[in-house]
């Protein structure tokens, strides 16, 4: 499925919907995170290394790692949701497998099971140094589809 | 135990150790988070509301909520650790129970089970508006005690 | 709240609904588990020690511990649900804090946040030996309320 | 990796070590579970359908699903551990994705990250009916390697 989703691109409407929502997330721009891939059921978010996202040893903070993982999973689910809906994170669990080091981190959210009410995503975060990727965190997330209030 | 730990204060050495570590976390100051309570086995962290920590609807981002929860739990464990050690998050799980709104959020990390290798903490995050607190997130975290490398 | 829920009893209708459902769970009777307390938002299940519920060292198996924790949480949520509904576990996370030993185990499920769609419970399992209780597992669970199909 | 681990078999010593431990788990034989595959970093456990493992609607109970998932992950880790050690579950999280139905369930535990102290596994449970497999549960588990006490 990896190959397929890497090539398959989401529709322009979905792209726009997700970029619009992402741009409204004050936290993502404050951290310096960028959306780098939007496919049906899969979204990538990249976070470059900078002192503002570190923990006490200079590695990426687990909170920063989790923030981009949570957003990647949420938007991966959102690519599959109908027009008038929105996505909320119900819960997630994440294991920090290795020190989060690299010139940037890449979070990959992938839909494992889509449902009309609940959707479950796999979360992966890679530390990338000079193009070499290493899995530094792995998680699992539950999301809920809610009807968007009229505006 | 609530009352007891609220009153009991950690020793000046522990206070200093934790404040020093916290001040090195680039992410915490970048978000605007502050340590507000350090007791044996319990730490509070406060995050004021500002556009830089929001998600797409203007609520606190789950990533910001998780970041202060993770740090509060990690430091709660760290208050009980011996001198020459450090703390790392192994994993955590968090449920986002209600929209994270308020003039600030308060994360409370509490040690549930201390162990020489692994320590388990409860994580709670409250949205606080005009002094009224509401539980907006609840989680559980596993931490590992590691020997600090010589410097 | 502990005191209150310990004293407060669920209505006879709720008692009956939960006992009827519990009696249909083949696994619970196969393990030898018993419902011992049903209060609004809180349910206890007891599992006596026997070779049939052990892991390789003779302690209670994590699967047995989890099974009664999951059922206790599910029924705790179910005490608050309306008549024509049913409860399903969405997910749970459990930490095994200490070897599960004792003449019996007691699982306590407590509703942390009730919602029309999703309910979140705290799960605790105690090993009990000669009346002394020790926390051996702690978890967090998400449940969904579903409309019961017509029969 | 799937293909590789399906073909690769664990050494006879590892096979024997795991079968011996499994046979000591009173719960596994009480449920009727069987070890069906032991490869380095991957173990399968099968649980046939029978009334003794059901919940109130006649599906497999989440506790039974979790029990075989937990054991599959634990033994997957154990295949990689050195001689004089033992494995304990630290914690796990599991999402129940679909009703657990079928003539049997198959739990697959796969090591995601091996470490000298902590190992993280992916847990999958499939409902199998007439040879067709459907993913019914997905989880993530943390295990600890402990030195075996002298006997």
Averaged pLDDT, groups of 10, chain B, 151 residues long? 57 94 94 97 97 92 96 98 95 97 97 97 97 97 90 56
Inform me whether the pLDDT recorded for C4 exceeds 90. no
What SS3 state is found at A117? coil
A42 closest CA partner among A9, A84, A90, A83? A9
pLDDT band (50, 70, 90) for residue C1: very low
**Pairing of β C42-48 and β C85-96:** unpaired
pLDDT (0 to 100) of residue C151: 55
- Reported as type and span, the H/E element at residue C15 is helix C12-24
Q: Return the DSSP state at C141.
A: E
Per-residue pLDDT, averaged over D123-130, amounts to 97
d(CA C128, CA D6): 43
SS3 state of residue C40: coil
Q: Count contacts between A and B (CB, < 8 Å).
A: 113
Q: Is D48 exposed, middle or buried (0-12, 13-18, 19+ CB in 10 A)?
A: middle
Q: Tell me whether residues A67 and B63 touch, CB distance under 8 A.
A: yes
Residue of B nearest to A89 (CA): B96
Is the distance from CB of B8 to CB of B39 less than 8 angstroms? yes
Best mutation site among D92, D100, D111, D113 for testing chain A: the one with the most A CBs within 10 Å? D113
Q: What are the backbone dihedrals phi and psi of residue D51, each rounded to the nearest 5 degrees, phi first?
A: -55, -25
Do residue A95 and residue B94 have CB atoms under 8 angstroms apart? no
Q: Where are the alpha helices (DSSP H) in chain A?
A: 2-7, 12-24, 26-31, 62-78
Q: Contact, D79 vs D40, CB < 8 A?
A: yes
Percent of chain B with pLDDT strictly greater than 70: 94
How many C-beta atoms surround the C-beta of residue C34 within 10 A?
A: 15
Residues of B at the A interface (Cβ-Cβ below 8 Å)? 21-22, 24-28, 30-31, 50-57, 61-64, 66-68, 70-71, 88-96
Identify the band that residue A10 occupies on the pLDDT scale cut at 50, 70 and 90: confident
Q: In DSSP terms, which residues pair with B133 in a beta bridge?
A: B128
Please check the confidence at residue A3 and state whether its pLDDT lies above 50: no
Neighbouring residues of C49: CB distance < 8 A, sequence distance ≥ 6: C60, C102, C103, C104, C105
In this predicted structure, the answer to whether residue D2 has a pLDDT above a threshold of 50 is no
In chain D, residues with a C-beta closer than 8 Å to the C-beta of A98 are 113
Min Cα separation C129/chain A (Å): 33
**Interacting residues of A92 by C-beta distance below 8 A, sequence separation 6+:** A66, A69, A70, A73, A123, A139, A140, A141, A142, B62, B93, B94
Give per-residue pLDDT as tens, C38-55. 999 999 999 999 999 999
Give the number of residues written for chain B.
Answer: 151
Q: What is the pLDDT of residues B19-59, one digit of tens each?
A: 999 999 999 999 999 999 999 999 999 999 999 999 988 89
From the CB of residue B53, how many other CB atoms can be counted at a distance below 10 Å? 28
What is d(CA D138, CA B139) in angstroms, rounded to the nearest whole number? 20
CATH numbers and ranges of domains, chain D? 12-147 (3.10.129.10)
Chain A hits for D141, Cβ within 8 Å: none
Which of C61, C67, C70 lies nearest to residue D25, judging by beta carbons? C61
Kindly list the residues of chain B whose beta carbon comes within 8 Å of any beta carbon in chain D.
90-91, 93, 117-118, 142, 144
Nearest C-alpha neighbor of C138 from the set D92, B42, B54: D92
Q: For residue D27, which phi and psi values (nearest 5 degrees)?
A: -65, -40
CA distance C18 to C27: 15
Provide, as residue numbers in chain D, all residues whose Cβ is less than 8 Å from the Cβ of A139: 140
CB–CB of C138 and B113 under 8 A? Answer: yes
Contacts of B27 in chain A (CB under 8 A): 52-55, 61, 63-64
Q: What are phi and psi of D40, to 5 degrees?
A: -60, 115
By the 10 Å C-beta count (0-12 exposed, 13-18 middle, 19+ buried), B57 is classed as middle
| Residue A27 burial (CB count, 10 A) | 25
Name the band, by pLDDT with cuts 50, 70 and 90, for residue A8: confident
- How many inter-chain contacts (B to D, CB under 8 Å) are there? 16
From D30, D7, D37, select the one nearest D126 (Cα to Cα): D37
Distance CA B91, CA A18 (A): 28
Q: Which residues of D touch C70 (CB under 8 A)?
A: 62-63, 66
Residues near D82 by beta carbon (within 8 Å), at least 6 away in sequence: none
Q: Which chains touch B (3 or more CB pairs under 8 A)?
A: A, C, D
Model confidence pLDDT, tens digit, residues C96-122: 999 999 999 999 999 999 999 999 999
DSSP-assigned letter for residue B11: -
For residue C98, what is the nearest residue in chain B, using CA coordinates?
B113
- The 10s digit of each residue's pLDDT in A49-82 is 999 999 988 899 999 999 999 999 999 999 999 9
pLDDT at C23 over 50: yes
Q: Do residues D60 and D54 lie in contact, with contact meaning Cβ atoms separated by under 8 Å?
A: yes
Give pLDDT, residue D150.
Answer: 65
Q: Which pTM does this prediction carry?
A: 0.94
Residue A111's Cβ-side half-sphere holds a number of Cα atoms within 13 Å equal to 22
- Rounded to a whole number of angstroms, the distance from the CA of A114 to the nearest CA of chain D is 9
């Amino acid at each position: 499925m990896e190959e397929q989703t890497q090539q398959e691109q989401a529709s322009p409407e979905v792209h726009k919907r997700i970029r619009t929502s992402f741009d409204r997330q004050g936290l993502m721009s404050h951290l310096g995170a960028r959306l780098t891939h939007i496919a049906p059921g899969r979204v990538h978010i990249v976070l470059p290394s900078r002192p503002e996202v570190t923990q006490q040893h200079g590695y990426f903070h687990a909170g920063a790692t989790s923030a981009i993982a949570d957003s990647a999973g949420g938007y991966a689910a959102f690519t599959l949701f109908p027009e008038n809906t929105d996505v909320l994170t119900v819960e997630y669990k994440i294991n920090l497998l290795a020190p989060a080091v690299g010139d940037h981190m890449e979070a990959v959210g992938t839909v494992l099971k889509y449902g009309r009410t609940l959707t479950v995503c796999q979360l992966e975060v890679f530390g990338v140094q000079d193009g070499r990727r290493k899995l530094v965190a792995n998680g699992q997330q539950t999301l809920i589809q809610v009807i968007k209030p009229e505006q």
